[in-house]
Structure 1
Amino acid sequence: MVVQDFTVKTKELIDGLKSVCTSYGLGNDGNEFKIITQVFLYKFMNDKFGYDVKQIDENLKNAEKWEKAIALYSEDEYEMLLMTLNPDSAKLKRDHFLSTLFDRQNQEEFAKYFDNTLRDIAIFNNDIFSVKTGTGAKITLFDELSNYISDSSQRDAFCRAIVNQLVNFSFERIFEQKFDFFSTIFEYLIKDYNKDGGGKYAEYYTPHAVAKIMADILVDAPVKNVTCYDPSAGSGTLLMNLAHAIGEDRCTIYSQDISQKSSGMLRLNLILNNLVHSIQNIIQGNTIKEPYHKEGEKLMKFDYIVSNPPFKLDFSDYHAELDSKANHERFFAGIPNIPNKDKDKMSIYLLFIQHIMYSLTTKGRAAVVVPTGFITAQSGIERKIREKLVNNKMLRGVVSMPSNIFATTGTNVSILFLDAANTKGDIVLMDASKLGTTVKEGKNQKTLLSPEEEQKIIDTFNRHEAVEDFSVVLSYEQIAEKNYSFSAGQYFEVKIEYTDITADEFKAKMDGFKSNLSNLFADSRSLESEIQKQLEGLRFE
């Protein structure tokens, strides 16, 4: 009941913040998502700080208002309290508290005070919470949010309205909840800001069903102290599901994404899901052109990799840089050519697959969303990649998903599973295209999988189970014999039904066939005679 209540209240808070933005002319504005997500993060950090200090000091825990009790600390006592906090916790000065902002909201130039407070929090926690770019520059937690209001006379009122939304309830009683609660809240928080309207680098939100299937197939046994990587991380849905399947305290997250907006969202996702220790590994940059994560001069290898890369994208402006000797091993199958027209249709996903294969440890596993056409293409880069996956014995299987599993694209997709240690074979190919229920989402059709259907896919795959017209289990040799096709349907048996009958039953059936044929032939002759009579009766007038 507590979780349901807080889910409702949290969604009401998000809706309230959106309402404030709308009232001040920022509804559907390009900067609205920054205001909503950053203010939400400030609220979360304030309440989490209160929760954390109460675990340290019993007096604060028993106080009616912890902010008033903590105000009585001397400077040295307060400094000691901050030093006692978990290294991954946000550290706040007493001037940073939400209660302080609320008490001072009627002072002159409140918007400036509001912005300065958030900026000082960012500086105070820069080593923990900043996202790095590929060049090493740090992107801090908070912008000067009031500056998004073009009418400067409205900024104080806007910031007051924001603060008044934040004081209606506290998150403190919900911090012992983990992934399920905060993943739901995160999806609701960003649902209007992670759609396919982002221009060249449009961001697509990976459906929960796809993320769960990928994670639960990859992690089929307990592991610890492993590295997890997404080279096109977006807002981190795949990484969060993977970390949850492993255990947030048993893995370290690494990512790279070209989008500043997505990197900021991923940072928020990590904070909400108890993965603050990995924020330093979140990089904003171009993975294909300039992969960031390295060990010495060589690219880093990872235990688990998940990715839903962009399928088509114009990368002609750095195409020549990729076709260099330094990249020949990474892009072993080649680099897609630059077409004369429609450069936006360059198959950049083929570069991501090759990069992922190159980035796996000797026992590493990966799951990659690919267009279903990839699994059967009989020539080009697609074929070369599939041949290497089979010949190097690093294919674990493929699940072909229902159409419209992504509401934002009609492209049919499959999930490609890699396992560098799968030398014995037992590859699972699955056709799940007939599962799911089609629903309307906005202007688009979307297919939803039920929890039972999701589990059917996961269990069948992990048990290496062959199910008629659904899944097959194959060796590498069998796949090579079928021209390296990864399509389950090409391996399904064509079955002919046989029924045992007696000689008398056979004679009766044959007599029935003969009788029917005789009747049909008689009808045919009668019809032929009638047609001839009609033709003879025709006269030219």
Structure 2
Amino acid sequence: MSEDHKKQLEQQLWNIANTLRGKMNADEFRDYILGFIFYKYLAEKMEIYANSILKPDGIKFTDIDENTKNGKEYIAAIREEALEKLGYFLKPSELFSAVAKRGNHNEVVALDQAAEDVHSYNTKHNFILEDLQKILNNVQNSTMGTESEEDFDNLFEDMDLNSTKLGKTPEARNEIIAKVLAHLDKIDFKLEQTELDVLGDAYEYLIGKFASGAGKKAGEFYTPQEVSIVLAKLVTTGKTKLKSVYDPTCGSGSLLLRVAKEVEEVNNFYGQELNRTTYNLARMNMILHGVHYRKFDIKQEDTLEHPQHLEHRFEAIVANPPFSANWSANQLFMSDDRFSQYGKLAPGSKADFAFVQHMVHHLAENGQMAVVLPHGALFRGGAEAHIREYLIKEKNYLDAVIGLPANIFYGTSIPTCILVFKKCRENPDDILFIEASEHFEKVTTQNMLRDADIEKIVNTYRNRAIENKYSYVSSLDEIAENDYNLNIARYVDTFEEEEVVNITSIAKEIQAVYIDLKDTDTRIASFCKELNIETPF
């Protein structure tokens, strides 16, 4: 039943999202629709929690009259408890359902006198834009001076309800917003069924749908779910609980949340994201998935230039950094603990190994990390070759190299790989190579890992299995002989021998064809003679 409801919910939400599609581009209507869904979620959680507090009094949250002395006392008491438990507060009049009803009051106005005769009417939407903008601001304001202030700070800043992208006039903007709220108000998120994360899954579905249509920008906020699953399973190998999980380029937070699905419990989530809009989306995503505000710490800053969690070490680290991004590579970083011991910095035009060094610095002694990199990071020379050698020869942290199919990430078709690192390796004398680049399904223009492909990668890694043309365990000596070049083709032989050709047999076949051609030519010449026409040869 939950699976059916999830699919139904996903389709309903996508249909509502398309109400805004004609008004703006994918990036823009994504921010609005996800923001409205998040507001509805906060409001319903608030109402459920308030009703649980009021149950002994035999009243419901929406029954409270906010203008009476008794009502104000109730509001003050619930506010105090809600800020402690939920991290925010909404009054009954600020709940999503209340605003949606005010905006769609169904005050019927005849278009003209003639229209009255044929019962043709227009629905007048009450003006709610100003109230709605205030309420969204109030969500943030309610947290000021509390532990959750940073987690809710400017969460709705990308939802400018006065933007002309929603409509040229205030009335036009009000109409489209009122319609969206009305459609959303009809949907039951089933939040009382706490064992289900149906809404969280639907939210992830929407983020993925937006990513598939966002082109190159998709990589800024979303890792394809199939790759997320692989990364999550790799770093949770042998674990049932995690003290912490960290993503230094966390995007919408999907990777962090995916790791949580692979274990019984994650105590704390940490992440950093450069893009402000995506940072807001990550915090929304955390809260909407039921992660308590005290259990996540997402920061907005440039991870390499201004790291925000330097004092922490994490049990699991996952990341899909921007491929071959630029960074300053400032020589001042040679005194930074993250980079100083390597002797060289990653090139300014390719920050791939700078992210690796940053992640290794944050990895706990009992931790595991998995990072997606462009395939070129395995064999490029210069400073990158030096860093690769140091990680393998001096530190011996690299545990596995996994080749992924090309065209698997949104916005780029380049082939990629996953590097797995552990500080305390069970197999310190070798490195596992997996060549999974030919194992995928083509779906429209995108390549996708199937469930069987994911299972094969994970099982091969966990069992350190060797399979002809798929996986190989290389000794450190062999890797040294290859000058620490990790190009998978050097270790996993995928060469397919061509079938032996019997030249004598082929010659006889050609001879037979030649005889058939001569017979045909003779017959054609005979026909031409009978018809008294020239032969064509």
Q: Normalising to structure 1: TM-score of the pair?
A: 0.77
Write the distance in 2 (CA, Å) between the matches of 1:348 and 1:82.
Answer: 46
1:329 to 336, 339, 358: 339
Deviation at 1:250, TM superposition (A): 2.5
CA-to-aligned-CA distance 1:240-262 (integer Å, 9 cap, x gap): 11122234x43311111110121
Write the distance in 2 (CA, Å) between the matches of 1:305 and 1:54.
Answer: 39
Deviation at 1:270, TM superposition (A): 0.5
1:291 to 266, 288, 307: 307
Larger CA deviation: 368-377 vs 7-16: 7-16
- Corresponding residue for 1:386? 388
- Corresponding residue for 1:479? 479
Opposite residue 384 of structure 1, the aligned amino acid is H
Deviation at 1:271, TM superposition (A): 1.4
Pair 1:4–1:421, CA change in 2 (3 A) = same
Pair 1:190–1:55, CA change in 2 (3 A) = farther
Opposite residue 332 of structure 1, the aligned amino acid is Y
Write the distance in 1 (CA, Å) between the matches of 2:198 and 2:458.
Answer: 19
- Corresponding residue for 2:230? 213
Asked if the contact 1:394/1:419 (under 8 Å) is kept, the reply is yes
Structure 2: gaps spanning 5 or more residues: 106-124, 512-537
Asked if the contact 1:147/1:155 (under 8 Å) is kept, the reply is yes
Larger CA deviation: 478-487 vs 266-275: 478-487
Deviation at 1:76, TM superposition (A): 3.3
SS in 2 for 1:472: strand
Structure 1: gaps spanning 5 or more residues: 339-345, 498-512, 524-541
Pair 1:211–1:437, CA change in 2 (3 A) = same
Matched, 1:302 2:285: no
1:214-363 matched pairs, under 5 angstroms: 214-224=231-241, 226-247=243-264, 249-277=265-293, 281-295=297-311, 300-315=312-327, 318-320=328-330, 323-326=333-336, 329-330=339-340, 332=342, 334-337=344-347, 346-363=349-366
State how many pairs are aligned. 474
Matched, 1:28 2:25: yes
Q: What is the percent sequence identity of the aligned residues?
A: 21
- Corresponding residue for 2:91? 93
Deviation at 1:321, TM superposition (A): 6.3
CA-to-aligned-CA distance 1:399-426 (integer Å, 9 cap, x gap): 1112222242121111000001116425
- Corresponding residue for 1:447? 447
Superposition RMSD in Å: 3.6
Pair 1:469–1:117, CA change in 2 (3 A) = same
- Corresponding residue for 1:470? 470
Pair 1:380–1:59, CA change in 2 (3 A) = same
1:416 to 411, 414, 419: 419
1:432 to 420, 432, 436: 436
Write the distance in 2 (CA, Å) between the matches of 1:116 and 1:156.
Answer: 15
Asked if the contact 2:243/2:266 (under 8 Å) is kept, the reply is yes
CA-to-aligned-CA distance 1:165-189 (integer Å, 9 cap, x gap): 2321321356425457623432324
Larger CA deviation: 264-273 vs 43-52: 43-52
Pair 1:211–1:156, CA change in 2 (3 A) = closer
- Corresponding residue for 1:537? none
CA-to-aligned-CA distance 1:223-270 (integer Å, 9 cap, x gap): 4352211111111222111122234x4331111111012111111211
Matched, 1:38 2:55: no
Deviation at 1:309, TM superposition (A): 0.7
Q: Normalising to structure 2: TM-score of the pair?
A: 0.77
Asked if the contact 1:232/1:255 (under 8 Å) is kept, the reply is yes
Asked if the contact 1:330/1:358 (under 8 Å) is kept, the reply is no
Asked if the contact 2:339/2:357 (under 8 Å) is kept, the reply is no
